[in-house]
Structure 1
Amino acid sequence: MAITFEEFRTAFQRNITTPQGHDYARLVHRWSPNEEGKPLLVVEPLLEKDVSWAIRYANLNNVEVAVVAGGHSFMGASSSNGGMQIDLRCVKQVYVENERFGADGILSVQGGASIGFFGWLLGGGAGWAMGKYGYAVDSALSARVALASGEVVTASLDENPNLFWALRGAGYNFGVVTSLKLRVEACPHRIFFALLAYQTSEFEALIAASAEYAKTQGGEDSLGIIYGTQDAFGGPGESMLLILYYHGHDEAEARRRFKPVMDIPHMPLRCGMEWLTAACDLVESTIPYTRRYADSTAMADMSFDALKPALRKCAPGTDKAEDEDEAIRLCKDIISEIHGKQEQILGLRDHRWGSVYPNGALLPGTEASYVFGDRYPRLQEVKAKYDPGNFFHKKHPIEPLKR
């Protein structure tokens, strides 16, 4: 039996915003335009029962649901056109159970804490310190999940263990995760973090130096490169943004490890010792408001010769991509170019390194079976039990196993 909107509004008792509401523009705004939608309703729960009511109303009335943790999904999974957005950003309590200040402990965190923390973790949780601590999802101990029926259950190794297994990597396919408990380790010291911008004349040297760095990379340090079709000042042009992280308290040692890339002329945007929380907070102003797409297939290696043809297409091409379909076609063409060159240069039959990173997302149209590989059949079984109607389908949708 369907729930009327009046019944839902009475039971929900929290903020419900329509397109006419004064907060609507803020609530639907995302980090890039291709991630935004135009929902008919945005609901802001504060309690689990609010999430449950929102799901029940949407499911019984055939309303699509998108879940907003931080609004940072490259695929637009946190947005809806014509449906409902369950916005968890008001639900953000965080507390630690430990013996003393600065000791390891158990972290309890709600769904809207930080920028997209839940989406990041449920898709794997790769981070700057994963060489030392592994993926964030490996630290999960339990989760509270609101299912498509509206029922809220606990998932852990002891309760609903198959659901708990599926949540850790494909968590956005089975329900709304309202809270998590994780095992955490203390970081009582500052770490080294840097954001460095490089102009086009330094691209080839930067890629070569990054490959040189990788030969001696340790578990405590990591490096990431972001290519953008803006210069270091946000104007027209191209640039590469280098992200450096060292999980140690010795700045001289950090600079020694990153010397190959730091010796190349660059403009420092941030560089020095910071508290870990600051290093994890790449604010919205760091990334320009432009279309963003991703292919998170792990590559076996990378060379500038493989990137060069793709970069030539990138610079003029992205400015001309005036609609979504054209932009996606351009991205697929660029990625195909990189894959082809990589196989040719390295003599590889398969450009993949045997894995795909779910959180990083893939271009629209990519099948979930590609993302999850040989785990996909088991995920289909879990889907059939907990979401047989495929209510949650916004990102890498898993088809429930047919009985």
Structure 2
Amino acid sequence: MHIYLFGNLNSGKSTLSQKISQFLPSYNYLSLDEFRILYSDGSDQGEQQACERFVAAVSQTSDAIIEFSGYGRVAESLKLQLKTKRGILIHCVRDIEKSISAINADKYAKIPYPESYKKAQSIAETIRFLADKATLKTLEYDWQCQIWQSYSFEYGQDFSKFWQSFPLSHHQCLDKLRHAFVDDIDAQTVLGFGSLGANRLTTLSDLDLFIQSDLSTDKWCKKLLVLLGNECVHADILGTKITLRMQNRLLVEVVIGRTTSDISLYYRESQIYNVNFTVLKGTTVQVTELKAITQQKSDNKAKASELASQVYFLFCSLPTLMVKDDGYKYSFHCSIMQHYCVQLEHILMGKHQHNYLPKFAVNTLKDFPWQAFSTSPVVIKKSQYDDLFQYLMTLFSSLKQQELIDNKHYFSKETLFLHQISTDL
């Protein structure tokens, strides 16, 4: 795997590289300035030789920490050599003025930059020149076909905390899988989604992948188990999804499908950060298809109408279950309704991402009446039913006001008897 440390001059790249190298001794440290010191004499020819050797070393090294600005002719040359994704980007950030005021002249004097460079710009001028060219957004765009995730490290940030929260094992596992997929003719397209697709991978994240293939899920499971060996302690197949649990507790979920449309819902709701980041193996055609998927707008009215119908159906069943004293089924129906109502509340709020299972709903729905859905599978309380009834009346009224549902018979005078508890049932 490649760990690209990019950023402006004097932004702390070398210091960060050295610290990461201590934790990854098996990784080669490849710095453009170090190659200049080794192979250049300060002439234009020497600069060309150092840059060519640097590009060759990076392209030929599997596991490496690669440090330079990420911009310029060397960057363009290197990107042409890297035909497949190789790793991640860590962008080093430092205030421009502080970078300039902290310039160590002796440090830069040891690096044999070509005389033509020195005459054209001073170190301070170069830093100002790179200010808008070595930003995170610019580098992400320029290197989007070589990386699958990006991070930021601000000068002076606590490295221990940064590294402790860094999902290294996730990336190393992904790199191992990616490396195998590249030459596997059965894997037509390989995509990342979920937290990986959203560029929010953490140590607590699952690793979500999609493989477009004509090969069966069962055969893919066998392939993956051979590839992962003892690293995988448990594997299972859930329909078209393979779940792999690793020695370090990492969960890898691999969905197998024949077309990218098989993953479109999950892909769109992953809040994709950059489509190109997610394509571990694929073509420009797939990139175009995926961009179209992310731009598809959810039919909120159709979704709300479907959810409202389900909620009303389940709620109308509660009086009968109460009379039957079927506490388990009553409780089960309330749990399903809660899930649907959480989705409806998010639609009302205009939060359409992760509609199926909204993240951190307890935080986003601070006034949600969780207790109205809370019931024991043993004892059914009439007060709980009354609270739920009142909440649903309010919810459905809001849905009608926003014209998300058309049915005027929900909680109407004509249907009021359906919600009354009667021993005659």
Q: What TM-score, normalized to structure 1?
A: 0.25
More helix by share: 2
More strand by share: 1
Q: What TM-score, normalized to structure 2?
A: 0.24
